[in-house]
Amino acid sequence: MAAAFALGEGRSSVKAKAAATLEVPGRLFVRELACQCGERRRVLRLKGRLRMSQQKCAKCGRRMSPLGTGLANTLRGDTLSSRELARPLSSLGLLPADVIALGRRNRLSCFELGSSSKDP
């Protein structure tokens, strides 16, 4: 993810990362899941692209779901941990041909993700 934030800035300085945002137009990020039993789990994945294993409650086995407070339409580079920034975009559920929007100071740049395999 750090490389994506740097792409939006055109450079990879720490100062640039601080104010940068990442979004997937028309989609939400799930930051936390909750279960009816009261259990909660922090996650970072696109809504609708959660793995079944991520949704299963470790306490009771029921399916967990995001609450309104656990959803975000953008991610800010300065609020993500270094571990989260080290994750590949695919770990968020992003797929080839998805569009990401990177912004800073009222500027928004959109990029279509490519395939990791070479076309013949």
pLDDT in tens, 89-109: 999 999 999 999 998 877 888
User: Strands of 75-76's sheet, edge to edge?
Assistant: 75-76, 21-23, 99-104, 107-112
* pTM of the full structure: 0.81
8 A C-beta contact, residue 101 and residue 110? yes
* Residue carrying structure tokens 């009816």: 36
The CA distance from 26 to 99, in Å, is 10
Residue-wise pLDDT tens digits, 31-85: 999 999 999 999 999 999 999 999 999 999 999 999 899 999 999 988 899 999 9
112, β-bridge pairs = 99
